[in-house]
Each structure stands twice: as structure tokens, then as C-alpha cells.
Structure 1
Amino acid sequence: MRQFISNKKLLILLVSVIICVGLIGFSIRDKDETPIIQQIGKDVSAVTNNVLGAPIRGVTNFFKSIDDIKNTYNENEKLKEQLDKLTENQVKLAGIQAENEQLRQQLALNETLRDYTSINGVVISRNPDGWVDKVIVNRGSKDGVAKDMAVMANGGMIGRITEVSMTSSTVQLLTSGGATNRISVETKGEDGQAVFGVVHGLEDKEENKGKNDQLLMKQLSTNSKAKVGEKVTTSGLGGVFPKGLVVGEITEVKMDSFGLAQEAYIKPAANTNDISSVSIIQRTVESGE
């Protein structure tokens, strides 16, 4: 009986050892495999993250998009401001360049007027109703300006002084219509000889339509025919202006309405539509007519 009990204990011990060895072996064999409970936990966690994470990511992306739109708007506003400043600077630059070009022309003109002195000034008033008739400049009797002085601008003669006050003067433009506003001029004929005449603004006639920006040269001397393309300058024979001031260039030569004398249309050398700076010609004894 005692031997049976002893054998039973031995058998139980042996079975226990076998079970332990088996468990150890099973544990070593499945070391790289995840337990089922752990796998289920991971799956539940992944599903939960997907379900809860999608709305969170959507909200995050929404606010990020709003920030991007806001940043884009701010950048656009800055670019618009820079563009406005650039446009403004371009306008200012264009104005400065135009003014600089006119001043250069005045300087070049003054360098050619060696036989008389000039008084430089600027236009301070111009009535739109009389745009082609007159301008007012900021030079007057205190500056040495006197009536009937010639006025130059933009490379050519534009008119004469008709009214003088202490600090300003009125300039009657050559483009002002009427035969009373005229100057004595000369040009070269086809044979190279001098051709004399008088120039004035165009009158409002049917034959002058389409030539409002030109002048008319009449009473041409008949010793030579005027030539298209020749320059026209003051002759010094009218008793008013110095000799040699550029008036314009002949664009057309024709006979008058009676067929007795030549007439010539002249394109003014100066652009009278854009006058800002002027030179008033002060006559000397040697250069006066």
C-alpha cells in the first residue's frame, strides 16, 4: 500500500514536469505571436482611433484651411498695396520725365538764343474755354517782361505777350484764330532763295477744316516758290520780334482762293496743347527788329 502511494506521487510529479516542459516549449515556440486578447485590444483601439480621429482631423484641417485663406488674403492685400504704390510711382515718374524733357528742351533752346536774353517762367493758368487762345505765366514787369515780347516753349515760338502785370503776364498763342494775330516770317524756297510772308492762326473756314492744329502763312513773296518740309522762322522784318525764332515747318503749299498768291500750312514746332515751362525772349538792340 505504501509502495502504491509512493508510485502515485512519483507519477504526479512526472506528469507535472511534463506539463511544465510542454508549457515552456509552447511559450518559446509562440514567442513572436501576439496573444489573442492583445490582438483584440489593438483592433478595438484602431477602430476607436479611426472613428474618433476622422472628425478631429476634419476640424483640424478646417481651421488650418481658414488660416491658409486668411494668410492668402493678407498676402493679396499687401500685394495690392504694393501694386497701388507702384502705379502711383509710375505716374509720378512719367510726370517727372515729361517735366524733365520740357526743361531739357528749354535749356537747349536757351543755349541757341545767343543774340538775346530769356526770362524763364511757368504757366500758372489756362482757361479751357480759350485753350488755343492764351495762357498766363508767372513772370511780370518786375522780372523785366514787356508787351509784345516773343514767348518760346517746347522747342518753338508759341506766341507773344499781350498783357503785363507786376507778377504775371498773358501770352496770346499763335494758334489763336484771326489775321490780326500775325508775325513776320521767312523760309527757303525751292531755289534756295528766301521767301517772306506773315503767319497767323487759322480762321474758322471750310477750307481749314481738319487743320486746327496748324498755322497759315500768307502774303508770300513771289520771287520763289515755298517748299514743303522747310522750316519757318521769324524774319526780323516786322518790327516786333527778333530774327531766327523757330515757328514751324511747312506741310502744304497752295494758291489762295483768288489764285493770285501762294499760301502755306505750317505745323508749329511747339506742342501748344502741353505747355508748362516757357522762355520769354527779351530783345536787345542788336537782335531787335
Structure 2
Amino acid sequence: MKNSKYILAGMSAFCLVLITATSIKSSFLMPLRTGVGFVLVPLQSGVNAIGTGLYNALENFSSLREAQEENKNLQMRLDQMVEENNRLQSELYELDRLRELYQLDQEYMQYKKIAARVIAKDSGNWFQVFRIDKGADDGIQEDMNVMAGGGLVGIVTDVGANYATVRAIIDDDSNVSGMSLRTGDTCNVSGNLTLYQDGRLGLDHIKKEADIQEGDKIVTSNISDIFLPGILIGYASGLTTDANNVTKSGTIIPVADFDNLQEVLVITQLKNGDGGDNNAEAAD
């Protein structure tokens, strides 16, 4: 470090001597001035070139730092905009779901209901058994009907103080007494996880002479023990006469989506009249 200082001082002194020598107008010093010129001019050009290069390098480095800082600020703004956009999309999606739930509530105004969020589910691809964030403290009881996505979802099977378990109609253990909304002919809707891989449930116990046709709306029937009447389940499909030549069977396309349930409506009255106003009894 010290040697560098000495070298720099020496070079500075040498340049000063050369400049002084070239500035003195004397015939005696003319050869010296000429010789010095040969040395000094290239040296000055080199120094100027080095200085210019260093200046340009520093300027480029400064521009690079500014560009990097600007890029960092732009990236931060972009991240904030992406986060804000994701939040708005999530809120819009939730708003659409709540509007759908509100519409469902309006379609079944004869039943008292309470909204609940899905907080857990059994392992598997679908919500065949799931848990909601409302329980006994909120008036939830076993056998209360659960709706979402335009129609019937399932039934409450277990209740805690602040939670309840729901078995969906797609579960293998589920059976719902249904009927054609158009004709009143009865049928049975059976849960079948294998069939639901194609988005369908079982439709059976239909009398051969029953006038249930492709596309008919199937709703919960009056004769069900636990399901309230008139709740849409889905649409009849693929009806054929059974081998016994006495009954028909087919499949049903459910209106509810069991791939991603997030909010549901629980009807806070039971088919036997407990848990709320006895509207269902009149329907029976």
C-alpha cells in the first residue's frame, strides 16, 4: 500500500517536470521539449484514455446500480399487485359461492337453515364424509339435512358442541328415498363412490311401469324417514329395465359438486318435527 503511494507521487512529480520543461521557450531546451513531447503526449493520451475508461466504467456501474434498484422496486410492486389480484380473485370466488348459497336459501324458504363452513374431510378425493364448524351450541342435531350447490348434499350423522359430521349422498352407505318431480314416481338414490368417478350415483327400485324419464328432476320424497321432501338431488339418466323384468334402474347426475365443498346450509329442523317448526309434517 505504501509502495503504491510512492510510485504515484513519483509519477506525478515526473509529469510535472516534463510539463514544466515543455513550457519553457528556449532554443537550448528545444531538443528536450521535442523529446519530452514524444514521451508526454502518448502518456497524456494514455492517462486520458484510462481516465475516460474509468469514468465510463463508473458511470455504467452507477447506471447498473440504478437499474438494479429500479428493477427491485418494480419487482416489489409486481409482487404486491399479484398478491392483491389473488386476494381479489379469492374474494370474488367466495362472493360467487355465497351468492349461490343465498339463492339456494331463497329456493327453500319453507325450511329454516343455518350456514356453516366445511373445516375437514375424510381422506379421499371427494367430500363423502366431512366436518362443519357448527354443532350442538348452534342448534345442530343428528339427521338434519345438509344442502349446497343447488340441492341435497347429505345428512348430519354426529354432533359435537362446536362441530358436526356430515355423510354425503355419494358415500357408499348412503340411501335416499327420491321421486320424480314431474310424475311423483318413487325411486332410491344410492351412494356409490365407484360410480361417482364418472360423476353419477345409483338410481334403482323404480317400478317398471313408472314414468321416470331421462333428464327428470329427482327430489327427496315424502316417504323418506329422515330426508325432508322436495329437495333436489339430481337428474335421472341411463334408465333400463332390470333382469327381473319388474323394476328399472339407472343413474343420477347430482346437482351438488362433491369435489370442493366449502360452505353448506344445514336445515335446522328434522323430518319428525323436532329441531324447528313442523313444516315438513304438513308436507307429508
Could you state the TM-score of these two structures normalised by the residue count of structure 1?
A: 0.73
Matching residue of 2:202 = 216
Over the aligned positions, Cα root-mean-square deviation in angstroms equals: 2.7
Measured in 1, the distance between the counterparts of 2:143 and 2:196 equals 29
Match 1:142 to one of 134, 137, 143: 137
Q: Which residue among 187, 197, 202 is the counterpart of 2:180?
A: 187
Q: Deviations over 1:230-279 (max 9, x none)?
A: 22211222132222111112232233455542212112111112111111
Match of 1:112 in 2: 107
Measured after TM superposition, the shift of residue 116 of structure 1 is 1.4
Structure 1 residues 110 and 203: alpha-carbon distance in aligned structure 2, compared to 1, 3 A threshold: closer
**SS of the residue 2:224 aligns to:** coil
Q: Which residue identity lines up with residue 192 of structure 2 in the other structure?
A: L
Which has more radius of gyration?
A: 1
- Alpha-carbon deviation of 1:223? 3.2
Report % sequence identity: 22
- 1:175 maps to what in 2? 170
Alignment gaps of 5+ in structure 2: 1-36, 270-276
Q: 1:117-132 to 2 correspondence within 5 Å?
A: 117-129=112-124, 131-132=126-127
Q: 2:150 matched to which residue of 1?
A: 155
Match of 2:28 in 1: none
Residues 96-129 of structure 1, C-alpha deviation per residue, up to 9 Å, x if partnerless?
2221111111111111212111121111221324
Q: How many residues align?
A: 240
Task: Name the CA shift for 1:130/1:75 in 2 (closer, same or farther; >3 Å).
Answer: closer
Cα displacement string for residues 56-113 of structure 1 (whole angstroms, at most 9, x for unaligned residues) = 2211111111111111111222222222222222222222222111111111111121
Q: Deviations over 1:127-152 (max 9, x none)?
A: 32484431111222222212111101
For the pair 1:287 / 2:280, whether they are aligned, the reply is: yes
**Is 1:245–2:238 an aligned residue pair?**
no
User: 2: CA distance between counterparts of 1:166 and 1:210?
Assistant: 34
- Which residue is 2:53 aligned to? 58
* SS, match of residue 171 in structure 2: coil
Q: Is the 8 Å Cα contact of residues 171 and 191 (structure 2) preserved in structure 1?
A: yes
State how far apart, in whole Å, the 2-side matches of 1:171 and 1:257 are. Answer: 35
Aligned counterparts of 1:123 and 1:163: Cα–Cα separation in 2: 14
Deviation per residue, 1:14-58 (Å, 9 max, x gap):
xxxxxxxxxxxxxxxxxxxxxxxxxxxxxx899887554322221
- What per-residue deviation string (whole Å, max 9, x for no partner) do you get for residues 141-186 of structure 1? 22221211110112221100111122211100111114xx211111
SS of residue matched to 2:227 = coil
User: Residue 133 of structure 1 aligns with which residue?
Assistant: 128
3-state DSSP of counterpart to 1:77: helix
- Partner amino acid, structure 2, of 1:221: K
- Normalising by structure 2, report the TM-score: 0.75
Distance 1:266 1:148, change over 3 A: same
Q: 1:259 to 1:83 in 2, by over 3 A?
A: farther
The separation in 2 between residues aligned to 1:97 and 1:259, in whole angstroms, is 52
Which residue matches 2:220? 234
The answer to whether the 8 A contact 1:226-1:264 is kept is no
Distance 2:42 2:121 in 1: 84
Whether the 8 Å contact between 1:195 and 1:223 is mirrored in structure 2 is no
Is 1:76 the counterpart of 2:62? The answer is no
Report if aligned partners of 2:215, 2:237 keep a CA contact under 8 Å in 1: yes
- d(CA) in 1 for partners of 2:254, 2:110: 22
* Cross-structure match for 1:278: 264
